[in-house]
Structure 1
Amino acid sequence: MPVSLPNESAEYRAARNALLTAETELRARIEDVAALRRNLPKGGILPQDYAFQSLDGKPAPLSSLLGSHDTLAIYSLMYGPEAKSPCPMCSAFLDGLDGQVAHICRKIALAVVAQNTPEKLSELNSQMGWRNLPLYSSLGTDYQRDYLAETPDGSQLPILNVFQRDGDSIRHFWSSEMFFEPSDWHPRHIDSAWPLWNVLDFTPMGREDFIPPLR
């Protein structure tokens, strides 16, 4: 159905229709990429059942995080044991994710892990006002190093990983490896899950150099 808006010029409508064509083509390409992702061959079996801890210090092995689901998404928050504060960008991403946890967990299991103590993570949880994020300590495990979220020198990286139950095993399915691909827009590897940037992309000024601050 042809669309028009009050007082728009013919020039605007022509340009907007051209943009609409590009937007439609982009959506089709996004769907194509999602299909390629869904059709990935089986990934590697989890080398160990990583011994995460809940915020109250109780054992929470990775396998337990799946619950009744067959799929688990884990986001690695950049907040190492020597850090005075968490990464502001990670925190902004998690602010947006916090309100979607209940919806996401109707389909899959979700967790956020950080290489810090349960006590520090509990304090951070209260400070940030997160009410729904399933937050766990990965301190003392090799998870971050094994799954691209920690460099050899101990620096933390904000990687999203997805795992899938396969019979009695758990396999890796997908990782946000675009983080490691050089580009003009590095490291926008999880933009599709981040409302902040997607909303700003609808505006005349776009993202510019905005960096969301910690609360």
Structure 2
Amino acid sequence: MNKLIYTFILFTGFITRAVAQFNDSTHYHASYLSSGSINKTKDGTAYLLNNGLKFNVKKKSISLNFTNSWVYGRQRGSLTNNDFSTALDFNLYQTPKFYYWGLANYNTSYSLKINNQLLTGFGLAYSILDSKNAYLNLSNGVLYDKSDLFLTPGTRDIYHTFRNSFRLAFRFNIKELVVLESSSFVQNSFDYGSDYIIRSNSSLSFKINPWLALTTALSYNRQNRTNSENLLLTYGLTLEKYF
């Protein structure tokens, strides 16, 4: 808990002024989410920590997004989650609503039985809504998946496949006070019908001021090849700055 407090002080020390969104003079956005849950009973203690760091750069015809997440949890002394994901993607805009995208994503996850996983690919996206207070986007493309998985504790599965990747993303800002956002993927293998990945991350934030919000985050992940999934509900703080 001390680490969370120190991180909060560090970020609040850096953030002195915020801008509501990208505009002609605002090209950068940074945000940090720290949330978690603790349950202590006479039978033991369970806790879960969810940390996310994002950095975005947006110009007229291109944007670059760098995201990192780490989930760590224990229950009654046993490890339940040690899941890390980092992704770098870019968008090349042909029109304000239509763009090409490219992605490189690395994952390792104790709860999903992923030792190593590298996803790279590209595709197309279209924004049905794209305004200050409403964003709704659909995208689709092809990913190359090179994975090292644990089918059982003693059985490794090292393989590669191509996947179709479909995403639905939205963000709604209600009177600059409440922000609801979500990004969900379905990634099916072209080679194996039962091999699919589902990822969904949603959050509901209540703004305290332009750079600080109380946030509830819901995350669902399924790696069907390893027959594993997790559902995480946490609450905490989001710090962000446009500059």
Normalised to the residue count of structure 1, the TM-score between the two structures is 0.24
Could you say which structure has the higher strand fraction? 2
Which of structures 1 and 2 has the larger relative contact order (alpha carbons within 8 angstroms, sep 6+)? 1
Could you say which structure has the higher helix fraction? 1
